[in-house]
Amino acid sequence: MKAAIYIRVSTDEQASDGFSIEAQKRRLISYADSQDWDVAEVYIDDGWSAKDLKRPEMQRMIKDVEGRLFDVVLVYKLDRMTRSASDCDNLLKMFELHNVKFQSCTESFETRTATGRLFIRLVADIAQWERENTAERVRMGMEQMVIEGRRPGGPINFGYDKYERLVEEEIAQIRLVRKFYMEGDGIKAVAERMNEMGFIRRGYTWSAFSVWYVLDNPYYAGKLRYGTKKANGKYVSRKKEGVVPLTFGDGSQEKLFTWEEYQEHKAEMDRRSFTGFPQSREYCFSGVLICGKCGHKMSGRYHQNKRKDGSYNKIKSYMCGNRQMGKGCTMPMFRQELVENLIMDWINDISLDHKQLKQIAVTIEKSTEEREREFLVKELEKVKERKKKWQRMYADDLIDENELREHTRDELTNERTIVEQLKIMPETLNKEVTEPGDLLFELPDLWPLLNDKERHDLVLDIFKEIVLFTPVEKAQARKGKFIPASIEKITFN
């Protein structure tokens, strides 16, 4: 009979001889020999918790169970495999479905009878209770640390050293982030501007999430925060273990912002929020329109005209940021309908012969974020393959436990870094990505079918900058007529 050996140690248990990788492997191989079983595969999750099944080697073992590569799964103790009662039940059902037995070498478990399966589930319930009880104690301790003004663990915030002192080179970047945002740039625009200026955030480029996190985090204003927010009177939490009430405390760190400054830009963030997405998405060309006179970005604004029946007509327009801030630009406001007409006319004026289409398609490349995502996904696959290689070498006694742990620790660090980077990157809007060149020429047909948010997303997918120009100086369009204007330049993503 072929056996699969599963070994797991968590970070806290690695120092324990009883649960070390080498100790488990030695006992399990000896047990398999005593039963005259052939060891088909060894699965080792080093440094992973058993709270769920999201472990690389556990997932690989599940796939091999479904492929029926062995007849029995052998573990040192049940809690090496899982500490969740529901996960234990699901695993046992899966084993039974694929005719794979389960065996613990230190516990008298068997899955052939209803009594044996009941006993295993009772032990799994106790293991889950122990894990959840520990989690509650940890949460209480972290809340108390915040109340006492001590940082409750986690990475050192960008802008600080390990002694909670400000790092001048880093806080200079944070001040710029706040300045750009308060001047009218959106979260994504601020990130792009910081990257264009060559700023690096501890080895990584700025992203929309990192800009949002810096502005949202009260740590920079001398406060500590732990827990979850309230929404509509209820706590919002992603934690399966339960809801953690939001806790604030005065920290011992040096302040970058005053509390009034923090509240000011938080109020601005709340003001720009609109039914789940920024108000800028109401303006279809926000973020891409550029003033042809001074080169500053143009932002959306609106006014209302009263109709004869007493109702109001909302008119959307775009204004140069320098003119809005009184910095001397004479570019007039552009109605959104005018910009739409200019874009559609520009597309229709392009000759549709094959060569020109090809030349345009060449200029429309994948966005930087898409290229970075593809690169990270490939790197993640390489890390997973290297982890398998180290474990195979250990199973074949080509390396010892210390070497395995050292290699695994390095690969886990690489894996978690890549996963964190992937988490903060925006997901692709559609699984089937249409070529931007096709989208460009389909835009006139798609436009009437889309709402404002969808139009804005489509514009950002296709265009990087649209430069508008008019010889008119701060003029208002006559009734029923648009300002004479043209598109000076267009660049694509």
Which pLDDT score is estimated for 235? 41
> Angle, nearest 10°, between helix axes 259-272 and 168-182?
40
Helix (H, G, I), strand (E, B) or coil at 491: strand
Q: Identify the band that residue 467 occupies on the pLDDT scale cut at 50, 70 and 90.
A: very high
Which pLDDT score is estimated for 278? 43
Tell me what the mean pLDDT of segment 36-58 comes to.
89
Do the Cβ atoms of 173 and 204 come closer than 8 Å? no
**Hey, what's the torsion of the CAs at 346, 347, 353, 357, to 10 degrees?**
110
Please state, in angstroms and rounded to a whole number, the distance separating the CA atoms of residues 126 and 121: 9
The region of weakest confidence among 4-13, 38-47, 465-474 is 4-13
The region of weakest confidence among 39-53, 54-68, 294-308, 410-424 is 410-424
Q: Identify the band that residue 428 occupies on the pLDDT scale cut at 50, 70 and 90.
A: very low
The region of weakest confidence among 160-164, 197-201, 295-299, 300-304 is 300-304
Give the pLDDT confidence of 340-366 residue by residue, as tens digits: 999 988 887 764 444 455 555 554 444
Q: Which residue has the higher pLDDT, 226 or 239?
A: 226
Tell me what the mean pLDDT of segment 220-242 comes to.
56
Q: Identify the band that residue 272 occupies on the pLDDT scale cut at 50, 70 and 90.
A: low
The pair of three-digit structure tokens given for residue 451, joined into one six-digit string: 């709402």
In the sheet that holds 298-306, the strands lie side by side as 298-306, 312-320, 334-335
Give the pLDDT confidence of 195-217 residue by residue, as tens digits: 999 998 888 899 888 898 889 88
3-class secondary structure per residue, 406-447: HHHHHHHHHHHHHHHHHHHCCCCCCCCCCCHHHHHHHHHHHH
Q: Identify the band that residue 231 occupies on the pLDDT scale cut at 50, 70 and 90.
A: very low
10 is catalytic: yes
Q: Identify the band that residue 132 occupies on the pLDDT scale cut at 50, 70 and 90.
A: low
Smallest CA-to-CA distance from 252 within 158, 178, 170, 166 is with 166
Give the pLDDT confidence of 181-196 residue by residue, as tens digits: 888 788 888 999 999 9
Give the right CATH number for 168-274 from 3.40.50.2000, 3.90.1750.20, 3.10.129.10, 3.40.50.720: 3.90.1750.20
Q: Which residue has the higher pLDDT, 386 or 281?
A: 386
The region of weakest confidence among 84-93, 256-265, 310-319, 436-445 is 436-445
Catalytic pick among 10, 20, 49, 367? 10
Which pLDDT score is estimated for 143? 64
For residue 311, pLDDT over 60 is answered with yes
* CATH fourth-level superfamily of 2-133: Resolvase, N-terminal catalytic domain (3.40.50.1390)
Strands 463-469 and 289-291: parallel
For residue 9, pLDDT over 50 is answered with yes
Q: Which residue has the higher pLDDT, 385 or 126?
A: 385
**Hey, what's the torsion of the CAs at 240, 242, 243, 244, to 10 degrees?**
-100
Which pLDDT score is estimated for 436? 44
Which pLDDT score is estimated for 279? 47
Smallest CA-to-CA distance from 55 within 460, 453, 359, 415 is with 415
Which pLDDT score is estimated for 277? 38
Tally of helices (H runs) and strands (E runs) in the chain? 16, 16
Do the Cβ atoms of 82 and 53 come closer than 8 Å? yes
Q: Which amino acid is at 106?
A: T
Which pLDDT score is estimated for 388? 79
For residue 244, pLDDT over 70 is answered with no
C-alpha 163: how far from chain center: 28
Query: How much is the pTM?
Result: 0.35
Which pLDDT score is estimated for 38? 93
Please state, in angstroms and rounded to a whole number, the distance separating the CA atoms of residues 136 and 479: 67
For residue 220, pLDDT over 50 is answered with yes
Which pLDDT score is estimated for 147? 65
Q: Identify the band that residue 41 occupies on the pLDDT scale cut at 50, 70 and 90.
A: very high
The pair of three-digit structure tokens given for residue 89, joined into one six-digit string: 């039940």
Percent of the chain with pLDDT over 90: 16
